[in-house]
Amino acid sequence: MLEKIIEKSYRKIQSIPMEYIRDLYHKIDWNQRLVGIVWQRGVGKSTLLLQYLSKHYNSTSVYFSADNVNIVAEGLYNTVENLYLKKWIVHFFIDEIHKYQNWNQELKNIYDDFDDIKIVFSGSSSIDLIKWKYDLSRRLALYRMYGLSFREYINIVTNNNFLAYSLEDIVNNEEISKEIYTEVGDKILLHFHEYLKWGYYPFFQESDNKDVYYGKLQWTIDKLIYEDISNFYKIDSLNLEKMRKIIIFYAFAHPGKLSINAIKEKIWLAYDTTANYLEILQEVWILKWINSNGVISKSIRKAKKIFIDNTNIVYAMSNETGYNIEIGTIREIFFINNFKKNIFFSDVWDFCIKQWEKEYIFEVGGKNKTRKQLKWIDNGYIVSDDIIFPSDKKIPLWLFGFVK
């Protein structure tokens, strides 16, 4: 069995594409003894592990998936121990760790029992991956691997190497868009709107057929609901279907329009159950919420604006249901997706972003959006879709896909 694991690992490493490597690759401290890479299915975690091995492979390294039948039969701890003692493997890259029962305890035991073993693992959409971090705060280096930014997408499709910029540069330096335009030209808006529809997940490269892409994305969402959520939260199949309906509702509602009371009436669930399901969908990274300016709350009951995680999910749901898409929702989802923290909303303007004791106020809309609501705010900016160049505190929406 050990030989088969090593042989399969070698074949996987040799076949992995190396044309494009995600930004996260260069941010990970690969020398840590225990590294975790988590986020949704389909964002490229497995590829990242194999790309690292392709560059650094030697006889002391091995890759395998935790749901391999041989691993499950032998046990994760026993497999690692045997590979270590009999084959002198000391660097383990373990994929799909969340599919192995009791993975957290066995990894902890491996870490404690073998001082010279290093482990890098990946896991998808399972809240225990995040909660476990607090049990191993002195051991685990945990990284979140998001989907492709627009910058990463444009680098792939145009074979460029555009850099990321600070928010201050984006709002103040009009030369950035000109530099990008010089390389991409008028197609920048075409690329942007294609990205909104089918560019967030790296598997867009596998087919030019959008129906194939949406089919894979719908499969990913269903695996999340009917496998990950079902197994971890022990929710019955009928209510899992209601959870899927919640995703559909938020995909087509204007952010903030669907309250918990509105949702519970549509799916015939109690208030507390509905709130709990919304929190689960946030915990597995399908929903996100934005707090009011200056108010930070982890409770869905106090959230004022709730969003789908990324625009591709909205388009996939539209492809499945035929429902019309709210373009304002798409613009806001894209905008906030470029900021993982310190973003708030207000009833007066759309969003406030706080960085380094500075506040930036933004109104998001189409190319005809005016500064009427921001005319008395020095640090207020219009974020406009369908324009290429900034002018007079009016910044192209696509340009925020280049924020660090």
Return d(Cα 239, Cα 396) in angstroms, integer.
Answer: 41
Return d(Cα 119, Cα 127) in angstroms, integer.
Answer: 20
Reported as half-sphere exposure (CB side, CA atoms, 13 A), residue 255 has a value of: 31
Render the burial of 370-396: b for 16+ CB within 10 Å, e for the rest: eeeebeebeebbbbbbebbebeeebbb
* pLDDT on residue 339: 94
How does strand 91-95 pair with strand 61-65? parallel
* Other CB atoms within 10 Å distance of the CB of residue 91: 18
Q: What 3-state DSSP class applies to 359? A: strand
Contact 98, 104 (CB under 8 A): no
Task: List phi, psi (to 5°) of 209.
Answer: -85, 115
Beta bridge partners of 359: 354
* Other CB atoms within 10 Å distance of the CB of residue 177: 20
Coarse DSSP helix, strand, coil percentages of the chain, rounded to the nearest 5 percent: 50, 15, 35
Return d(Cα 82, Cα 223) in angstroms, integer.
Answer: 32
Predicted TM-score (pTM) of the model is 0.91
Amino acid, single-letter form, for residue 326: E
Copy the structure tokens of residue 290: 């934005």
DSSP 403: B
> Tens of pLDDT along the chain (404 residues)?
899 999 999 999 999 999 999 999 999 999 999 999 998 889 999 999 999 999 998 899 999 999 999 999 999 999 999 999 999 999 999 999 988 888 888 998 999 999 999 999 998 855 566 556 556 667 889 899 999 999 999 999 999 999 999 999 999 999 999 999 999 999 999 999 999 999 999 999 999 999 999 999 999 999 989 988 887 788 888 889 999 999 999 999 876 667 788 888 888 888 889 989 998 998 888 998 888 866 655 566 666 688 999 999 999 999 999 999 999 999 999 999 999 888 998 878 899 999 878 899 999 999 888 777 787 788 899 999 999 999 989 999 999 999 99
Q: How far lies 272's CA from each of 123, 219, 277, 300, in Å?
A: 29, 28, 9, 11
Q: How far lies 128's CA from each of 101, 102, 221, 240, in Å?
A: 12, 11, 18, 19
- Sheet of 394-396: strand order equals 343-345, 351-355, 358-365, 380-384, 394-396
* pLDDT on residue 284: 85
Copy the structure tokens of residue 301: 């009951």
Q: Which residues contact 138 (CB under 8 A, 6 or more apart)?
A: none
Q: What 3-state DSSP class applies to 388? A: coil
Q: Which residues contact 257 (CB under 8 A, 6 or more apart)?
A: none
The closest of 115, 119, 180, 191 to 153, measured between CA atoms, is: 191
Task: List phi, psi (to 5°) of 295.
Answer: -115, 120
Contact 356, 336 (CB under 8 A): no
* pLDDT on residue 192: 98
Q: How far lies 318's CA from each of 75, 190, 252, 324, in Å?
A: 42, 20, 8, 7
